[in-house]
Amino acid sequence: MNVLHVVAGMDPTTGGVCQAIRTIINGLTELGIQNEVASIDAPDAPYLSDYPFPIHALGPAGRSWQYSAKLVPWLVDNLARFDTVIVHGLWLYHSYAARKAIQQVKKEQPSAGKMPKVFIMPHGMLDPWFQEAKGRELKALRNWLYWKVIEDKVVNEADGMLFTCEEELIQARKPFKPYQPSQEINVGYGIDSSPAFIPAMKAAFLEKCPEVANQPYLLFLSRIHMKKGVDLLIKAYADVVSASQHTGVSVPKLVVAGPGLETDYGQSMQQLVAGNPLIKNKVVFPGMLTGNAKWGAFYGCEAFVLPSHQENFGIAVVEALACGKPVLISNQVNIWREIASAAGGFVAPNTVEGTRQVLQDWLSLTPPEQRKMEKQARYAFEEYFYINPAAARMAQAISA
């Protein structure tokens, strides 16, 4: 079987979709399925060489809609080579282009033979949060209009929708009408097991973050973005540190790692820390961590924290579990039910109070209780999020 993955871009700094595609392809490849990617990246983008599978970079993309005149012609010329097309993500030109190319082939080449099946994998982009969140009113209106004009046809005319968990599937039904996909398939999602710890990981991390050498720390590792709840984390952490002055509880440092420090939001988060004398020497911003430095951060932390306002899956959450690290997350991370059922961490609402609660819950555990939760974190990964069963479900869904 030959599968084409269509996506707006593969720049790893833009979020989890790129990593999801890499992981999905790794799993499908193990099953003997051939994979290629068509994206709207610039052909000379340096990060493309980091991927071990063929990427047809058909950009550079225009800024607002990620438009490229090269994508539809390439798809028209190449669709016949594939059995299945998976469109990753919505709201940008690539999803429209996939539908347009299919229509064009059917019209211009009626004898072209069997067309590939087309599946849409929204990666959480149909979550109601995007339509309901404060400050997104104009974007919500834009999405509603775009749905009426374009995206409802993309979704409803596809051969099916692929979801990473049951919560995502349920939430996707809420924000837009008409929503009548041919199929809704919970294929699940997983990752490869974490690489075994080696001393080079710790060294690489401490080179980026020397402030926590020989000190315990909690880890946030994601984009520095409003959606991720970084402001909630910093405010809640400051409350916990303040309370510790009266209770005597030792509070680990907090590492806030990820791209986005140069943005207005990233700058405001750094100012929020700098302006609070209680935490200005306890919160560290090392920037984006990759490779050994990233794994060193995971293996060295006490627990992983992500109080996100909306998280379709949370690859970093699962990577932490794979390293045997408990996760302190909001109930807006769609895989929270699985984690809670496995006792692999603590879950609370995506508020300052909720975030403070999961921090306090973790700090209130005795060392033996913390070690027990570490074992449960690894169990949660093996039970729910390992790549092999997820890849098998994906293969079955797209070949049925």
pLDDT means per 10 residues, the chain with 400 residues, are: 97 84 92 97 95 96 92 96 97 97 88 85 93 91 96 97 91 96 92 92 98 97 95 98 90 97 97 97 96 98 96 90 98 92 97 98 97 97 88 90
For every residue of 218-277, DSSP letters joined together read: EEEES--SGGGTHHHHHHHHHHHHHHHHHH-----EEEEESS-TTSHHHHHHHHHHHT-T
* Residue that is last in its domain, among 186, 210, 225: 186
Predicted local distance difference test score (pLDDT) of residue 248: 83
The span from the CA of 200 to the CA of 296, in Å, is 8
How many domains are contained in the chain? 2
Q: Are residues 203 and 182 in the same domain?
A: no
Look up the pTM and report it.
0.78
Q: Are residues 336 and 361 in the same domain?
A: yes
Q: Are residues 120 and 142 in the same domain?
A: yes
Closest CA relative to residue 58, chosen from 68, 46, 48: 68
pLDDT tens-digit profile of 257-316?
999 999 999 999 999 999 999 999 999 999 999 999 999 999 999 999 999 998 988 889
* Residue that is last in its domain, among 160, 186, 212: 186
The span from the CA of 54 to the CA of 120, in Å, is 20
Q: Is residue 286 part of a domain?
A: yes
- For residue 280, give the CATH number of its domain: 3.40.50.2000
Integer-rounded Cα radius of gyration of the chain? 22
Q: Is residue 392 part of a domain?
A: no
Q: Is residue 14 part of a domain?
A: yes
DSSP secondary structure code for residue 7 in this structure: -
106: containing domain: 2-186
Q: Are residues 170 and 54 in the same domain?
A: yes
* 380: enclosing H helix or E strand: helix 367-380
Sign of CA dihedral 146, 148, 154, 159: positive
Structure tokens at 209: 């973050």
Predicted local distance difference test score (pLDDT) of residue 111: 67
Q: Is residue 257 part of a domain?
A: yes
Q: Are residues 234 and 155 in the same domain?
A: no
Q: Are residues 218 and 161 in the same domain?
A: no
Alpha carbons within 13 angstroms on the beta-carbon side of residue 341 total 7
As to burial, measured by CB atoms within 10 angstroms (0-12 exposed, 13-18 middle, 19+ buried), residue 250 is exposed
